[in-house]
Chains A and B, each alone.
Chain A
Amino acid sequence: MRRRSALIAALATALCAMPVALAGSGADPGVSPTTILIGGTSPLTGPAASYATVARGAQAYFDSINAKGGVAKRTIEYRIVDDAYNPAQTVQAIRRLVEQDNVFAVFNTLGTEANLAIRDYLNQVKVPQLFVASGATTWGRDAAQYPWTIGFQPSYAAEGFVYGQYIAKTQKKAKVGVLFQNDDYGKDLLASLKSGLARSGSKVVAAEPYQVTSPDVGSQIGKLKASGANVLAIFATPTFAIQAFVFANRLGWRPLVINNAVSATSNTMSLASEGGKNKSIEGTISTTPLKDPLDPRWKNDPGMKQYRAILAKYAKGANPNDANHLYGMAVAHETVALLKRLGASPTRVGLMAKARSITGAGNPFLLPGISVKTGKGDNFPLQQGQLQRWTKGRWVPFGGLWVSKRN
């Protein structure tokens, strides 16, 4: 009796199946006379959902371009698929985007592991893996082996090196304690901080990892203080960075703090300042390539006005102080610039060629003087940043732009 249901199962399975869309002929997949389709995964759910706003910012920017007629009379359709920050799901979603939805390019997929999981596949099928949203060094370094993959933001290695050099130059015999996330991101920053410190009198005296599954980092901060460190480097995501400031303050610890760019938005910093009561936060050093949404300097800046206007119109309810939106827009802006340079008949080969020869026409969402550049032997689009110091509740830039010489 029970077996009969197998037949019904079979019928239902057949009903669920849907016909596959046929690719257009002539042009590369994803390009029709009126649209150009790109896609990527983003963690809409799960542990990394706070980064989903990157994709939302990019989406809003594309919508604003489409409202003005798109690029070369084509509107840009950006398809976002949730991968819950699980690389196995990323693989499925990306194959779906490539093989079923026929995207022109995979755009700004988020997460180091997620991108590692799909890189070999995308390079085999020759689909651009454009502007990867991860700071691992491999995206730029291994361009020869993976010609279809290109990163975007400054690598964690470049960032860590800059902090190391800053400490080496300004501190004598500093003892550095490091709080780092126990994965590739945290370890990259730690290793490059050490190489930036090399041959100076300063050194890392303690490095405490934390797991993303830990509720708090109180124990780690206690151990770092006990190590006798007088510099605290925080290589942690916003929630844990805020905790690090809170716990350091509770312990009455006032080291020089270095806070990584991931957690250095004014939004995060002002939360960590506990309404001005936190005494460990003053004088914190960080770096960023982006304008800061909360910084009064940009109140009348055209780029930031545009940012707020686009977000208000095309991402209703989005919080403009969340700088992930801004990052998303900066990437989307570069993508639109690439598509414009591609002209009337875009091809995947052409896209990658253009992505490897960006001349840096300026990006309204990046700090003045910072531009996106690639060229022969240079496969890192963003390599500059601005050192800044947290002073009386806001970031104050100092020391000019740095350019990473090593990645």
Chain B
Amino acid sequence: MTPRTTRIVGFVAFAAFVVFVAVLPTFIGDFKAREYSYVGIYLIALLGLNILTGYTGQISLGHGAFMAIGGYTTAILMAGNEQFGGPIPSGMKDVWTLPIAGLVAGLVGLAFGIPALRLSGLYLALATFAIAVAMPSTAKRFEEFTGGGSGIQLFGTPELTGSISNVEIFGLSFSPNDWMYYLAWSIALVAFAVAWLILRGRTGRAFRAVRDSETAAVSSGVSLARYKTLAFGISAAYAGVAGGLFAIASAFVNPDAFPVALSIYLLVGIVVGGLGGLSGLVFGAIFIAFLPLWAQGQDLGSLLPDRIIQETQKPGGPAMVYGIVLILLMFVIPNGVGGLFRRIGQLISSRRYSRAK
């Protein structure tokens, strides 16, 4: 296929996906729409993380912390922190906090990206892991700002759109769950398009050059410092927006809502989705959103024997299943779902190519 046809196929597929996302709630019912809104939220975070890890080659085990920064930004702007003795009044509508959540997290990401320049591979993984671990304790320490361990309640506040009653907008009426779904997915689709635009241009080429060989990138005039920090900033901004949406969807934030496990799940998500690709990430997001449920036998009642389901519902059972599935996935699809598709695609097109010959 020529680049031109590739691009056309891409546009058509994306358009089809947009239509699919738009009509999906009609078929899956109200509550499932809420659960799929989390898929959209995780997708945003994964897009960001993949720009950093998949395209620029920097491992982050700390993206849950950037989500926390976004989540807290959103929650504090909505509910204020005057009730804990902080300086910020309540009153910003949920949707308008999201750009700020992205901006704040992005700035923190940029700031972290500068020291991260000196680290690579496992050391960067460790350093970012440290950030993820430190996040909950730090949020507890600054109680007057974050509400400490009890957190911030958003449900029922006037700033939260659609706590319980339908949302009327553009002459349409959405149930609270549908509203959450469309909010999350419209932002996710825009985020997807933006990521694609960033990655196909100059910046994307520079990112990939940095990943493939730093030495070669430098010798061909790419500024390592500039692109590595930039990737960190963009990536953290994505996580911040996702964190803000996460706070809105949960209508509650506290330090335990952003555990180390969240950072780990995100990394798992991009590996399952496929490093260095975008569309596979949808699967990564589905994986993160649903595996914790599947690991305890939810929704699988008819697929697995009762005996196994019972065992997975014992204390410790879900974790055991989750861990084993993770390991098996690394064996079975080392390049993620995206990599699997690419291989299938290559097989098909190479066959076609040889036939044309």
Query: A residues near B, CB below 8 A?
Result: 1-10, 12-14, 16-20, 44-46, 49, 52-53, 56, 80-82, 84-89, 91-92, 95-96, 99-100, 112-113, 116-117, 120-121, 124-125, 182-184, 211, 213
Instruction: Decide if B292 touches A84 in the complex (CB within 8 Å).
Output: yes
Set of chain B residues within 8 Å of A3, measured between Cβ atoms: 6, 9-14, 279
Please give, as numbers and ranges, the residues of chain A lying within 8 Å of B133 by CB-CB distance: 213
Can you show 13 pairs from A to B with CB atoms below 8 A apart?
A: A1-B9, A5-B337, A5-B345, A7-B17, A10-B16, A12-B283, A17-B27, A19-B28, A20-B28, A44-B319, A46-B261, A87-B250, A92-B35
User: Complex formed: what's the CA distance from A184 to B246 in Å?
Assistant: 24
Closest Cβ–Cβ distance, residue B167 to chain A (whole Å): 15
Contact between B156 and A87 (Cβ–Cβ < 8 Å)?
A: no
Contact B151 A20 (CB under 8 A): no
Stretch at the interface among B80-88, B104-112, B213-221, B310-318: B310-318
Known: A17-B28, A88-B257, A92-B38. A117 touches B283 (CB 8 A): no
Which chain B residues in 301-355 approach chain A with CB under 8 Å?
Answer: 313-319, 322, 337-338, 341-342, 345, 349
Q: Is chain A's binding surface mostly helix, strand, loop or mixed?
A: helix
CA distance A238 to B4 in the complex (A): 66
- Say whether A117 contacts B16, CB under 8 Å: no
With a CB–CB cut-off of 8 A, which chain B residues contact A120?
Answer: 153, 155-156, 251
The answer to whether A14 touches B27 (Cβ under 8 A) is: yes
- Chain B residue nearest to A49 in the complex (CB): B315
Q: Given the complex, which residues of A lie within 8 Å of B11, measured CB to CB?
A: 3
Known contacts A5-B280, A124-B156: A100-B9 contact under CB 8 Å: no
Asked if B226 is at the interface of the complex by the 8 Å CB criterion, the answer is: no
The complex places the Cα of A112 from the Cα of B150 at a distance, in Å, of 8
Say how far A183's CB is from chain B's closest CB, in angstroms. Answer: 5
Q: Which of B6, B29, B35, B280 contacts A1 (CB 8 A)?
A: B6
User: Are B254 and A6 in touch, CB under 8 angstroms?
Assistant: no
Q: Which of B36, B164, B246, B278 contacts A88 (CB 8 A)?
A: B246
B317 & A44 in contact (Cβ 8 Å cutoff): yes
Interface residues of B in 59-109 (CB under 8 A from A): none
| Distance to closest chain B CB from A330 (angstroms) | 19
Task: Output the least CB separation between B345 and chain A (Å).
Answer: 5
| Residues on the A chain within 8 Å of B256, using CB | 85-88, 113
Given A2-B277, A87-B252: A99 in contact with B30 (beta carbons within 8 A): yes
- Excluding A9-B280, A81-B296, A117-B254, 17 further A-B contacts by CB distance (< 8 Å) are A1-B10, A1-B342, A2-B10, A2-B342, A5-B280, A5-B342, A9-B283, A10-B17, A13-B39, A18-B32, A18-B299, A19-B29, A44-B313, A100-B32, A113-B256, A116-B153, A117-B151
The answer to whether B313 and A6 touch across the interface, beta carbons within 8 angstroms, is no
- In the complex, the answer to whether B254 meets A211 with C-beta atoms within 8 Å is no
A2, A14, A16, A19 interface centre (most CB from chain B within 10 Å)? A2
Contact pick for B32, options A17, A89, A113, A121, CB 8 Å: A17
B20 interface residue per 8 A CB criterion: yes
Across the interface, B315 reaches (CB within 8 A) one of A6, A44, A124, A211, namely A44
Which of A14, A86, A92, A113 is in CB contact (< 8 Å) with B149? A113
Are the C-beta atoms of B17 and A6 separated by less than 8 Å?
A: yes
A55 to B151 Cα, complex, angstroms: 25
Tell me which residues from 163 to 205 in chain B have a Cβ below 8 Å from any Cβ of chain A.
163-164, 177
Say yes or no: A117 contacts B1, CB within 8 Å: no
Q: Which residues of A contact B14 (CB under 8 A)?
A: 3, 6
Instruction: Give chain B interface residues in 1-52, CB to chain A under 8 Å.
Output: 1, 6, 9-14, 16-17, 20-21, 24, 27-32, 34-36, 38-39
B137 within 8 A of A: yes
Contact surface of B with A, Cβ cutoff 8 Å: 1, 6, 9-14, 16-17, 20-21, 24, 27-32, 34-36, 38-39, 133, 136-137, 140, 149-151, 153, 155-156, 163-164, 177, 246, 250-254, 256-259, 261, 277-280, 282-283, 286, 290, 292-293, 296, 298-299, 313-319, 322, 337-338, 341-342, 345, 349
Contact call A124/B10, Cβ cutoff below 8 A: no
Cβ contacts under 8 Å, B315 to chain A:
44-45, 49, 52-53, 56
Q: From B349, which residue of chain A is reached at the shortest CB distance?
A: A1
Contact of A2 with B27 in the complex, beta carbons under 8 Å? no
**Shortest Cβ-Cβ A-B pairs, 5 listed:** A3-B10, A20-B29, A52-B315, A88-B257, A5-B341
Cβ–Cβ contact A89 & B254, under 8 A: no
Contact of A124 with B164 in the complex, beta carbons under 8 Å = yes
Q: Residues of A contacting B322 with CB < 8 Å? A: 45
A201 CB → nearest B CB, Å: 32
Instruction: Give CA–CA (A112, B322) in the complex, Å.
Output: 26
* Known pairs A5-B341, A89-B292, A121-B155; A81 contacts B298 (CB<8 A): yes
Q: Which residue of chain B has the shortest Cβ distance to A17 in the bound complex?
A: B28
Q: A124 vs B349: C-alpha distance in the bound complex, in angstroms? A: 56
Q: Given that A53-B315, A82-B296 are known contacts, is A87 also in contact with B257, CB under 8 Å in the complex?
A: yes
Q: Give A53 to B259 CA distance when docked, in angstroms.
A: 23
- Residues on A with C-beta less than 8 A from B316 are 44-45, 49
Q: Is the CB of A91 within 8 A of B254?
A: no
In the complex, A402→B336 CA distance in Å? 61
Contact B277 A121 (CB under 8 A): no
Q: How far is the CB of A401 from chain B (nearest CB, A)?
A: 32
Q: Which residues of B contact A184 (CB under 8 A)?
A: 149-150
User: Quick check: A88 and B137 within 8 Å, CB to CB?
Assistant: no
CB-defined contacts of B27 to chain A, threshold 8 Å: 14, 17
Whether A20 pairs with B250 at a CB distance below 8 angstroms is no
Cβ of A40 to closest chain B Cβ, rounded Å: 13
Q: Tell me if B282 and A87 are in contact (CB < 8 A).
A: no
Report chain A residues within 8 Å CB of B30: 20, 99
- Nearest-neighbor residue (CB-CB) of B140 within chain A: A182
